[in-house]
Amino acid sequence: MDGLHIGTSADNFFQTDHDLAVQRRRAAKQNNKAGDPIVCTSKVLCMLLPDEPDYVYFGESGFVAKKKNLLSGKTVKTFSGHNGPVTRLALWRKDGTGECLITFTSHTDFVKSLAISNTRSKLYSGSSDKDIRSWDLITGEPLQVFKGHTRGIEDLAFDEGENFLYSASSDRLVMKWDPLTAKCLQVFEGHLTSIYALQIFDDEMWTASADTTVKRWDLITGKPDTTFEHSDFVKCIAFFGSFVITGSRDETIRVFDIGSGELINEVEGHFDEVSCMVVRGSTLYSGSLDCTIRKWSLVDIVSPTKDKGAESREKTESEPVPQKEVPGVTLTEEEERELAELLESDDD
Protein backbone atom coordinates (compact mmCIF):
# COMPACT_ATOMS: atom_id res chain seq x y z
CA MET A 1 0.00 0.00 0.00
CA ASP A 2 1.19 3.52 -0.77
CA GLY A 3 -0.09 4.93 2.48
CA LEU A 4 -2.63 4.68 5.23
CA HIS A 5 -6.20 5.11 4.00
CA ILE A 6 -8.72 5.99 6.70
CA GLY A 7 -12.43 6.46 6.02
CA THR A 8 -14.20 9.18 7.93
CA SER A 9 -17.68 9.00 6.38
CA ALA A 10 -20.41 7.42 8.52
CA ASP A 11 -21.49 5.52 5.40
CA ASN A 12 -18.30 3.46 5.62
CA PHE A 13 -19.06 2.06 9.06
CA PHE A 14 -21.58 -0.47 10.33
CA GLN A 15 -24.68 1.28 11.63
CA THR A 16 -27.73 -0.23 13.30
CA ASP A 17 -31.26 0.38 12.09
CA HIS A 18 -31.71 2.65 15.12
CA ASP A 19 -28.64 4.71 14.16
CA LEU A 20 -29.94 5.14 10.63
CA ALA A 21 -33.42 6.08 11.88
CA VAL A 22 -31.91 8.74 14.15
CA GLN A 23 -29.91 10.17 11.24
CA ARG A 24 -33.00 10.35 9.02
CA ARG A 25 -35.08 11.98 11.75
CA ARG A 26 -32.44 14.59 12.50
CA ALA A 27 -31.93 15.35 8.83
CA ALA A 28 -35.65 15.92 8.41
CA LYS A 29 -35.76 18.28 11.40
CA GLN A 30 -32.52 20.13 10.74
CA ASN A 31 -33.96 23.07 8.84
CA ASN A 32 -37.00 23.66 11.02
CA LYS A 33 -37.43 27.11 12.56
CA ALA A 34 -39.39 26.10 15.65
CA GLY A 35 -38.34 28.19 18.63
CA ASP A 36 -36.70 30.89 16.46
CA PRO A 37 -33.27 29.22 16.62
CA ILE A 38 -30.13 31.22 17.32
CA VAL A 39 -27.37 29.29 15.55
CA CYS A 40 -24.12 28.82 17.50
CA THR A 41 -20.73 27.73 16.20
CA SER A 42 -20.63 24.42 18.13
CA LYS A 43 -22.68 22.31 20.54
CA VAL A 44 -24.36 24.23 23.38
CA LEU A 45 -23.46 22.51 26.66
CA CYS A 46 -24.57 24.98 29.34
CA MET A 47 -26.42 28.25 29.63
CA LEU A 48 -27.38 30.93 32.14
CA LEU A 49 -29.19 34.25 32.09
CA PRO A 50 -27.64 37.38 33.66
CA ASP A 51 -29.59 40.27 35.18
CA GLU A 52 -29.46 41.98 31.79
CA PRO A 53 -32.80 40.96 30.23
CA ASP A 54 -31.75 40.63 26.58
CA TYR A 55 -28.58 38.56 26.99
CA VAL A 56 -27.53 34.97 27.56
CA TYR A 57 -24.20 33.36 28.50
CA PHE A 58 -23.48 29.85 27.24
CA GLY A 59 -20.64 27.36 26.99
CA GLU A 60 -19.79 25.50 23.78
CA SER A 61 -18.05 22.27 22.88
CA GLY A 62 -15.72 24.41 20.76
CA PHE A 63 -13.67 25.45 23.83
CA VAL A 64 -15.28 28.88 24.31
CA ALA A 65 -18.00 30.62 26.30
CA LYS A 66 -20.01 33.42 24.75
CA LYS A 67 -22.39 36.23 25.57
CA LYS A 68 -25.12 36.77 22.99
CA ASN A 69 -27.84 39.31 22.46
CA LEU A 70 -31.10 37.32 22.45
CA LEU A 71 -32.88 39.86 20.27
CA SER A 72 -30.33 40.16 17.47
CA GLY A 73 -28.62 36.80 17.90
CA LYS A 74 -25.25 38.54 17.71
CA THR A 75 -22.27 37.55 19.86
CA VAL A 76 -21.16 40.50 21.99
CA LYS A 77 -18.32 38.76 23.85
CA THR A 78 -16.29 35.58 23.40
CA PHE A 79 -14.39 34.13 26.36
CA SER A 80 -11.41 32.14 25.10
CA GLY A 81 -8.64 30.27 26.88
CA HIS A 82 -9.99 26.82 27.69
CA ASN A 83 -8.37 23.78 26.11
CA GLY A 84 -11.55 21.71 26.07
CA PRO A 85 -15.36 21.99 25.97
CA VAL A 86 -16.91 24.53 28.34
CA THR A 87 -19.26 22.33 30.37
CA ARG A 88 -20.52 24.74 33.05
CA LEU A 89 -20.81 28.46 33.80
CA ALA A 90 -21.36 30.55 36.92
CA LEU A 91 -21.59 34.33 37.30
CA TRP A 92 -20.19 36.23 40.26
CA ARG A 93 -19.16 39.82 39.56
CA LYS A 94 -21.38 42.19 37.59
CA ASP A 95 -18.58 44.65 36.86
CA GLY A 96 -16.19 42.21 35.22
CA THR A 97 -14.13 43.06 32.15
CA GLY A 98 -14.44 39.70 30.48
CA GLU A 99 -10.69 39.11 30.81
CA CYS A 100 -9.26 36.04 32.57
CA LEU A 101 -8.24 37.02 36.11
CA ILE A 102 -7.60 33.68 37.82
CA THR A 103 -7.25 30.08 36.66
CA PHE A 104 -8.22 27.46 39.25
CA THR A 105 -6.18 24.28 38.83
CA SER A 106 -6.21 21.18 41.03
CA HIS A 107 -8.75 18.84 39.49
CA THR A 108 -7.33 15.95 37.48
CA ASP A 109 -10.26 15.47 35.08
CA PHE A 110 -13.12 17.39 33.44
CA VAL A 111 -14.85 20.01 35.59
CA LYS A 112 -18.58 19.32 35.11
CA SER A 113 -20.27 21.56 37.70
CA LEU A 114 -19.91 24.88 39.53
CA ALA A 115 -21.68 26.58 42.42
CA ILE A 116 -20.92 29.99 43.95
CA SER A 117 -21.51 31.01 47.55
CA ASN A 118 -22.07 34.74 47.39
CA THR A 119 -22.18 35.06 51.17
CA ARG A 120 -18.73 33.50 51.53
CA SER A 121 -17.14 34.55 48.19
CA LYS A 122 -16.32 30.92 47.48
CA LEU A 123 -16.43 28.79 44.37
CA TYR A 124 -17.30 25.09 44.55
CA SER A 125 -16.37 22.84 41.62
CA GLY A 126 -17.27 19.23 40.87
CA SER A 127 -15.21 17.06 38.55
CA SER A 128 -15.08 13.75 36.74
CA ASP A 129 -12.19 13.00 39.12
CA LYS A 130 -14.91 12.26 41.79
CA ASP A 131 -13.97 15.25 43.99
CA ILE A 132 -15.62 18.54 44.92
CA ARG A 133 -13.26 21.41 45.68
CA SER A 134 -13.78 24.83 47.21
CA TRP A 135 -11.84 27.98 46.31
CA ASP A 136 -11.45 31.54 47.53
CA LEU A 137 -12.90 33.67 44.72
CA ILE A 138 -10.79 36.69 45.68
CA THR A 139 -7.37 35.06 45.82
CA GLY A 140 -7.94 31.85 43.86
CA GLU A 141 -6.58 29.86 46.81
CA PRO A 142 -7.74 26.21 46.98
CA LEU A 143 -9.49 25.54 50.29
CA GLN A 144 -11.06 22.11 50.85
CA VAL A 145 -11.64 18.81 49.09
CA PHE A 146 -14.99 17.01 49.49
CA LYS A 147 -14.55 13.25 49.09
CA GLY A 148 -17.28 10.62 49.11
CA HIS A 149 -18.59 10.05 45.62
CA THR A 150 -17.22 7.05 43.72
CA ARG A 151 -17.76 8.49 40.24
CA GLY A 152 -17.76 11.90 38.59
CA ILE A 153 -19.75 14.90 39.88
CA GLU A 154 -22.41 16.03 37.39
CA ASP A 155 -24.10 18.93 39.19
CA LEU A 156 -23.93 21.08 42.34
CA ALA A 157 -26.56 23.21 44.05
CA PHE A 158 -26.99 25.18 47.26
CA ASP A 159 -30.15 25.42 49.27
CA GLU A 160 -31.61 28.93 49.26
CA GLY A 161 -29.82 29.96 52.46
CA GLU A 162 -26.48 28.50 51.31
CA ASN A 163 -26.42 26.40 54.47
CA PHE A 164 -25.88 23.12 52.62
CA LEU A 165 -24.28 22.05 49.36
CA TYR A 166 -25.82 19.20 47.35
CA SER A 167 -23.99 17.15 44.72
CA ALA A 168 -25.31 14.81 42.03
CA SER A 169 -23.05 12.12 40.63
CA SER A 170 -22.66 9.40 38.03
CA ASP A 171 -22.59 7.00 40.99
CA ARG A 172 -26.44 7.49 41.12
CA LEU A 173 -26.28 9.27 44.49
CA VAL A 174 -26.98 12.77 45.75
CA MET A 175 -24.95 13.89 48.76
CA LYS A 176 -25.65 16.73 51.18
CA TRP A 177 -22.56 18.51 52.53
CA ASP A 178 -21.60 21.02 55.17
CA PRO A 179 -19.91 23.61 52.90
CA LEU A 180 -17.62 24.78 55.75
CA THR A 181 -16.31 21.43 56.99
CA ALA A 182 -16.60 19.34 53.78
CA LYS A 183 -18.42 16.69 55.81
CA CYS A 184 -21.11 14.59 54.14
CA LEU A 185 -24.32 14.90 56.17
CA GLN A 186 -26.79 12.79 54.18
CA VAL A 187 -26.97 10.48 51.17
CA PHE A 188 -30.01 10.31 48.87
CA GLU A 189 -30.41 6.98 47.08
CA GLY A 190 -33.17 6.20 44.60
CA HIS A 191 -31.96 6.65 41.02
CA LEU A 192 -30.60 3.65 39.11
CA THR A 193 -27.73 5.41 37.34
CA SER A 194 -26.15 8.82 36.57
CA ILE A 195 -27.87 11.98 37.85
CA TYR A 196 -27.32 14.87 35.46
CA ALA A 197 -29.26 17.77 36.99
CA LEU A 198 -30.13 18.93 40.49
CA GLN A 199 -32.26 21.80 41.83
CA ILE A 200 -33.32 22.73 45.39
CA PHE A 201 -36.48 24.61 46.43
CA ASP A 202 -37.37 25.08 50.10
CA ASP A 203 -37.89 21.60 51.53
CA GLU A 204 -37.74 19.70 48.23
CA MET A 205 -35.12 18.59 45.73
CA TRP A 206 -35.50 17.77 42.02
CA THR A 207 -33.18 15.45 40.08
CA ALA A 208 -32.91 14.33 36.44
CA SER A 209 -31.24 11.07 35.54
CA ALA A 210 -30.01 8.72 32.84
CA ASP A 211 -32.44 6.17 34.29
CA THR A 212 -35.08 8.10 32.23
CA THR A 213 -36.77 9.68 35.25
CA VAL A 214 -37.12 12.99 37.04
CA LYS A 215 -37.72 12.67 40.78
CA ARG A 216 -38.95 15.05 43.44
CA TRP A 217 -37.51 14.41 46.90
CA ASP A 218 -38.71 15.42 50.33
CA LEU A 219 -35.62 16.82 52.03
CA ILE A 220 -37.03 16.04 55.47
CA THR A 221 -37.53 12.32 54.86
CA GLY A 222 -34.80 11.96 52.25
CA LYS A 223 -37.16 9.99 50.01
CA PRO A 224 -38.61 10.72 46.55
CA ASP A 225 -42.34 11.41 46.65
CA THR A 226 -43.05 11.38 42.91
CA THR A 227 -41.43 10.25 39.68
CA PHE A 228 -41.88 11.48 36.11
CA GLU A 229 -41.13 8.84 33.46
CA HIS A 230 -39.40 9.49 30.12
CA SER A 231 -38.31 7.43 27.14
CA ASP A 232 -34.62 8.40 27.26
CA PHE A 233 -31.97 10.09 29.41
CA VAL A 234 -33.17 13.31 31.07
CA LYS A 235 -30.45 15.96 30.90
CA CYS A 236 -32.00 19.15 32.32
CA ILE A 237 -35.01 20.54 34.20
CA ALA A 238 -36.73 23.91 34.57
CA PHE A 239 -39.86 25.19 36.33
CA PHE A 240 -42.78 27.44 35.51
CA GLY A 241 -45.53 27.90 38.09
CA SER A 242 -46.89 24.44 38.90
CA PHE A 243 -45.18 22.78 35.93
CA VAL A 244 -41.85 20.97 35.59
CA ILE A 245 -40.20 21.10 32.16
CA THR A 246 -37.60 18.55 31.10
CA GLY A 247 -35.05 18.26 28.31
CA SER A 248 -34.04 14.85 27.04
CA ARG A 249 -31.47 13.05 24.95
CA ASP A 250 -34.32 12.15 22.59
CA GLU A 251 -34.43 15.84 21.46
CA THR A 252 -37.79 16.51 23.13
CA ILE A 253 -38.89 19.09 25.70
CA ARG A 254 -41.67 17.76 27.93
CA VAL A 255 -44.07 19.59 30.24
CA PHE A 256 -45.54 17.83 33.29
CA ASP A 257 -48.20 19.07 35.68
CA ILE A 258 -46.64 18.70 39.13
CA GLY A 259 -49.96 18.28 40.91
CA SER A 260 -51.41 15.49 38.79
CA GLY A 261 -48.14 14.05 37.49
CA GLU A 262 -49.55 14.09 33.95
CA LEU A 263 -47.55 14.73 30.80
CA ILE A 264 -49.38 17.63 29.17
CA ASN A 265 -47.14 18.56 26.24
CA GLU A 266 -44.16 17.45 24.16
CA VAL A 267 -42.31 20.21 22.32
CA GLU A 268 -40.42 19.29 19.15
CA GLY A 269 -37.86 21.52 17.46
CA HIS A 270 -34.33 20.52 18.41
CA PHE A 271 -32.71 17.81 16.30
CA ASP A 272 -30.21 16.63 18.91
CA GLU A 273 -30.01 16.26 22.69
CA VAL A 274 -31.54 19.08 24.75
CA SER A 275 -28.61 19.86 27.03
CA CYS A 276 -29.72 22.90 29.07
CA MET A 277 -32.75 25.10 29.81
CA VAL A 278 -33.39 28.37 31.63
CA VAL A 279 -36.56 30.36 32.31
CA ARG A 280 -37.01 34.12 32.29
CA GLY A 281 -40.51 35.40 32.97
CA SER A 282 -42.83 33.52 30.64
CA THR A 283 -40.11 32.44 28.17
CA LEU A 284 -38.17 29.17 28.14
CA TYR A 285 -34.73 29.13 26.50
CA SER A 286 -33.31 25.74 25.52
CA GLY A 287 -29.81 24.85 24.35
CA SER A 288 -28.90 21.74 22.41
CA LEU A 289 -26.15 19.67 20.89
CA ASP A 290 -27.72 20.69 17.57
CA CYS A 291 -25.78 23.99 17.99
CA THR A 292 -28.85 26.14 18.58
CA ILE A 293 -30.53 28.09 21.35
CA ARG A 294 -34.32 28.27 21.00
CA LYS A 295 -37.02 30.19 22.84
CA TRP A 296 -40.55 29.09 23.66
CA SER A 297 -43.61 30.84 25.06
CA LEU A 298 -44.30 29.08 28.34
CA VAL A 299 -47.91 30.21 28.33
CA ASP A 300 -48.30 28.34 25.04
CA ILE A 301 -46.43 25.15 25.89
CA VAL A 302 -48.06 24.57 29.29
CA SER A 303 -51.51 24.52 27.66
CA PRO A 304 -52.62 20.89 28.10
CA THR A 305 -52.75 18.81 24.95
CA LYS A 306 -54.56 15.63 24.13
CA ASP A 307 -53.05 12.25 24.87
CA LYS A 308 -49.31 12.21 24.09
CA GLY A 309 -48.83 8.65 25.31
CA ALA A 310 -48.80 9.56 28.97
CA GLU A 311 -51.60 7.12 29.75
CA SER A 312 -49.45 4.22 28.57
CA ARG A 313 -46.66 5.09 30.97
CA GLU A 314 -46.80 3.49 34.37
CA LYS A 315 -46.73 5.98 37.21
CA THR A 316 -44.37 5.05 39.99
CA GLU A 317 -46.49 6.72 42.62
CA SER A 318 -50.11 5.65 43.02
CA GLU A 319 -51.35 8.81 44.73
CA PRO A 320 -51.24 12.26 43.07
CA VAL A 321 -49.01 14.74 44.87
CA PRO A 322 -50.52 17.97 46.21
CA GLN A 323 -50.56 20.92 43.81
CA LYS A 324 -47.69 23.22 44.65
CA GLU A 325 -46.09 26.10 42.84
CA VAL A 326 -42.32 26.06 42.65
CA PRO A 327 -40.79 29.05 44.48
CA GLY A 328 -38.85 31.59 42.48
CA VAL A 329 -41.07 31.47 39.38
CA THR A 330 -43.71 34.17 39.30
CA LEU A 331 -46.16 35.22 36.61
CA THR A 332 -47.49 38.64 35.86
CA GLU A 333 -51.23 39.23 36.28
CA GLU A 334 -51.66 39.18 32.50
CA GLU A 335 -49.72 35.90 32.15
CA GLU A 336 -51.77 34.28 34.92
CA ARG A 337 -55.01 35.34 33.23
CA GLU A 338 -53.86 34.04 29.85
CA LEU A 339 -52.72 30.74 31.36
CA ALA A 340 -56.05 30.32 33.19
CA GLU A 341 -57.97 30.91 29.95
CA LEU A 342 -55.90 28.28 28.16
CA LEU A 343 -56.47 25.72 30.89
CA GLU A 344 -60.22 26.40 30.96
CA SER A 345 -60.55 26.16 27.17
CA ASP A 346 -58.89 22.74 27.17
CA ASP A 347 -61.37 21.42 29.72
CA ASP A 348 -64.37 22.46 27.60
Q: Quick: pLDDT tens for 138-147.
A: 999 999 999 9
Q: Quick: pLDDT tens for 308-341.
A: 444 433 433 434 444 445 544 455 566 566 556 6
Q: Quick: pLDDT tens for 172-200.
A: 999 999 999 999 999 999 999 999 999 99
Q: Quick: pLDDT tens for 117-128.
A: 999 999 999 999
Q: Label each residue of the chain as H, E or C.
A: CCCCCCCCCHHHCCCCHHHHHHHHHHHHHCCCCCCCCEECCCCEEEEECCCCCCEEEEEECCCCEEEEECCCCCEEEEECCCCCCCCCCCCCCCCCCCCCCCCCCCCCCCEEEEEEECCCCEEEEEECCCCEEEEECCCCCEEEEECCCCCCEEEEEECCCCCCEEEEECCCEEEEEECCCCEEEEEEECCCCCEEEEEEECCEEEEEECCCEEEEEECCCCEEEEEEECCCCEEEEEEECCEEEEEECCCCEEEEECCCCCEEEEECCCCCCEEEEEEECCEEEEEECCCEEEEEEHHHHCCCCCCCCHHHCCCCCCCCCCCCCCCCCCCCHHHHHHHHHHHHHHHC
pLDDT of residue 96: 65
pLDDT of residue 320: 47
Q: Which of 16-30, 278-292, 309-323, 330-344 has the lowest mean pLDDT?
A: 309-323
CATH class of the domain at 48-347: mainly beta
Q: Residue 160 pLDDT > 60, yes or no? A: yes
pLDDT of residue 232: 97
pLDDT of residue 1: 43
pLDDT of residue 342: 53
Residue 137: pLDDT band (50, 70, 90) is very high
Report the percentage of the chain scoring pLDDT > 70: 82
Residue of 67 and 341 predicted with greater confidence? 67
Q: Residue 253 pLDDT > 50, yes or no? A: yes
How much is the average pLDDT of 281-306?
91
Residue 205: pLDDT band (50, 70, 90) is very high
pLDDT of residue 317: 42
